[in-house]
Structure 1
Amino acid sequence: MNKTKIYQIIRRLTDGMLPESRRRIVVRWLRGQEHVAETDEAMFRIWNEIDGDQVSDEETKVALQAVKRRIGLSERRIGWKQMLWKYAAIILLPLITGLTVWQVMNFRVLESSDMIECYVPLGEQKKIILSDGTEVMLNSGTLFIYPEKFYGENRKVFLSGEAYFEVEHDKENPFVVRTGPLAIRVLGTTFNVKAYPGEDEITTTLKTGRVKVYRTDDETKGLTMNPDDRVVYHNKDDRFELFRVEAEVFTSWTEGETRFVDRPLSEVLKTLERRYDVTFRYDKSINLNEMYTMKFKPNETIEEVMRILMLAGSNMEYSIDGNVVFLRSTGKGGAADR
């Protein structure tokens, strides 16, 4: 498909000229891996041609913003009014999967406080310190939006991705992390939140203190957590699950390690994609539900990681071409299908 044709399709989408049935097909196509370079070029051109208010569909806003993230956006200040329309779509993760969303427009940022947007590219991590002294470690592929200075009775931030928080205690002003349909409210504690776009689960793991995780549209739907609790929220069926874990296992990434304890291969591959900025392609016969327990050290390369993975797994072999890793079932010989 040529660049002109791609541009015309996306332009019709942003203008609201596609019928509902075709719009859904195009949105799914935009989220795929075909014609990425041409799609990015067309969408970036459209982004520069129009104002956010002219885009008729929130999913399209998400796709447009994803382009900016892929071309290397890092950190910059944004006005509060800009944030409300241009960046709300990224934080409203369930929009892209058609689930219930919380209304960011109900969250009012004081005009006196500018927002700062920080995006951490794949393969990188970043630590920032907020105006109240709270320390936040951001994992690969994470978007974090926070005020330059906190005002009012709540300290609110927005997260899309994974972050570890060491929150400065302030009993008068709770600290609130908003991600997808959830809010996580604390006074002073250390905890981890994992909420990547496109994944069904939002997980909160508490290391110290106490936190409350709840639906922003119904605070009665939620749980209060104690140290070493891990709460998993399932987007698809609006359900919370509570587990007792060793919190250090789920926060070891802040020290450069990558650890898995009885995690499916599908989750292992997604995590490695973000850490090493690679893409996995695999045979349909690969068992993505096979469970793995392993630990990778900070300085290990993707080659070393793959050798360990092959030893731990069953009936697999791999090859690496640039930033693409191919997994094949041994003896199958089929081409990678993903």
Structure 2
Amino acid sequence: MDKLIRQFAENQLSSQELPAFKEELQHTTDQQLEEYLQQEWMSSEADDIRTICPRLSEMKQAIDSRLGLHGSFNQASPAPQPKVRTILMKWFSIASAILLPLMFITTYYFYHERQVEANKEVTFVTGRGEKASIVLPDGSKVTLNHDSRLFYLPSLFGRDARQVSFEGEAYFDVAKDKKSPFIIRQEKLQVEVLGTKFCLRARPKETAAKLLLDEGKVMMTATRTQNHQVVNPGEVAELNYATGQITLFQQSESADLSAWKQNEMDFLNASFRQVVQSIEDYYDVRVIVHAPIGLDHFTGTLPTRNLEQAIHILQLVYGFHYKVKEQQIFITF
């Protein structure tokens, strides 16, 4: 567990290790987590002290050399009574010699820490069957559907532009800022907006990305071909990953991309295999089908929070038999 937390803090967890970390975290008590974090904090403080102390020692030697303080304080050598002005000037010299370098170190330290923080990736992840609502620094609201990931660097999320990277499915309610465009990047596409509401489905394992616009105006660009399309409210943009082509059509011609926000999945003329795949994704189950070729396509809505009801609806449509065993569903015709 210690190793996983350290890797997570340093943003070194792989996508395969992240679910294991979340599982471990759920079985860790608050006291255990507090003790570990306190230990890590003390360790990092000690590292900082070991780094800074040698530099302070070198500074002290330089100061002593400048002020003629290398001799032993135990030597008994007669000296004239110094004047008050001389004493004050010497102490001002000592204070300046000590405080100015310390101020420089402190300023450098906090500047360095800010630079490090600005380059630390901020990541939000949802697993199977999970949803999450997040608020970004500019006030933009994002609702992540299952198996999705959004991340950004604070240094790239500022006044000139607001850049985030994303894969999965989410609903974006972007805060308006004409001077700072909101840019969503994925390996095969880019979406640029100023202030709007839209749903984006961009899963790498699928063959296409889809964007449904509710308000405002956005521009979708294919990374491969640099083809781009401006999308207006009520329109759906579909980007074919293989060709880089973007097609626009009306929302009425597509399944409702935002149905998942109401805990539903919507299908329009979808194959039985596509429906089964969606059930597996939402419910984290495996569906084993023994079906004849040429089943009718499905148009309708299924719940995402009630597996038994979802299977029962499909049973009424297709007339199959099914059996549930642990995390597997066996369907026969």
Q: TM-score, normalised by structure 2?
A: 0.63
Q: CA deviation at 1:218?
A: 5.0
CA offsets per residue over residues 197-250 of structure 1, 9 Å max, x none?
A: 32111111111111100023554x011101111111111222222110148921
Q: Which residue of 1 aligns with 2:307?
A: 302
2:255–2:268 Cα contact (<8 Å) kept: no
Q: Unaligned stretches of 5+ in structure 2?
A: 26-114
Matched, 1:139 2:145: yes
Moved more, 253-262 or 222-231: 253-262
* Change over 3 Å in CA distance of 1:325–1:124 after alignment to 2: same
Percent pairwise identity = 25
Tell me how far apart the structure 2 counterparts of residues 138 and 307 of structure 1 sit (CA, whole Å). 27
Q: Which residue of 2 aligns with 1:238?
A: 244
Aligned residue type for 1:325: I
1:326 is matched with which residue: 302, 326, 330? 330
Tell me how far apart the structure 2 counterparts of residues 122 and 245 of structure 1 sit (CA, whole Å). 27
Matched, 1:311 2:260: no
Tell me how far apart the structure 2 counterparts of residues 67 and 168 of structure 1 sit (CA, whole Å). 33
Tell me how far apart the structure 2 counterparts of residues 122 and 297 of structure 1 sit (CA, whole Å). 15
Q: Which residue of 1 aligns with 2:20?
A: 71
Tell me how far apart the structure 1 counterparts of residues 293 and 140 of structure 2 sit (CA, whole Å). 42
> Which runs of structure 2 are paired with 1:95-134 in the superposition (5 Å)?
112-134=118-140
* TM-align CA RMSD: 3.0
Higher relative contact order (CA 8 A, sep 6+): 1
Q: Which residue of 1 aligns with 2:215?
A: 208
Moved more, 277-286 or 229-238: 277-286
Tell me how far apart the structure 1 counterparts of residues 237 and 229 of structure 2 sit (CA, whole Å). 8
Tell me how far apart the structure 2 counterparts of residues 248 and 284 of structure 1 sit (CA, whole Å). 25
* Change over 3 Å in CA distance of 1:248–1:172 after alignment to 2: farther
Q: TM-score, normalised by structure 1?
A: 0.62
Q: Which residue of 2 aligns with 1:4?
A: none
Q: CA deviation at 1:310?
A: 1.5
Q: CA deviation at 1:194?
A: 0.9
Tell me how far apart the structure 1 counterparts of residues 214 and 255 of structure 2 sit (CA, whole Å). 7
2:303–2:310 Cα contact (<8 Å) kept: no
Question: Which has more radius of gyration?
Answer: 2
SS at match of 1:275: helix
CA offsets per residue over residues 32-80 of structure 1, 9 Å max, x none?
A: xxxxxxxxxxxx99xx9xx99xxxxxxxx9xx933124425499xxxxx
SS at match of 1:250: coil
* Change over 3 Å in CA distance of 1:286–1:159 after alignment to 2: farther
Q: Unaligned stretches of 5+ in structure 1?
A: 1-43, 53-60, 76-109, 331-338
CA offsets per residue over residues 132-172 of structure 1, 9 Å max, x none?
A: 01100001111211245722421111111111100001111
Q: Which residue of 2 aligns with 1:17?
A: none
Q: Which residue of 1 aligns with 2:271?
A: 264
Give the count of matched residue pairs: 234
* Change over 3 Å in CA distance of 1:207–1:231 after alignment to 2: same
> Which runs of structure 2 are paired with 1:140-289 in the superposition (5 Å)?
140-148=146-154, 150-216=157-223, 219=226, 221-246=227-252, 249-283=256-290, 285=292, 287=294
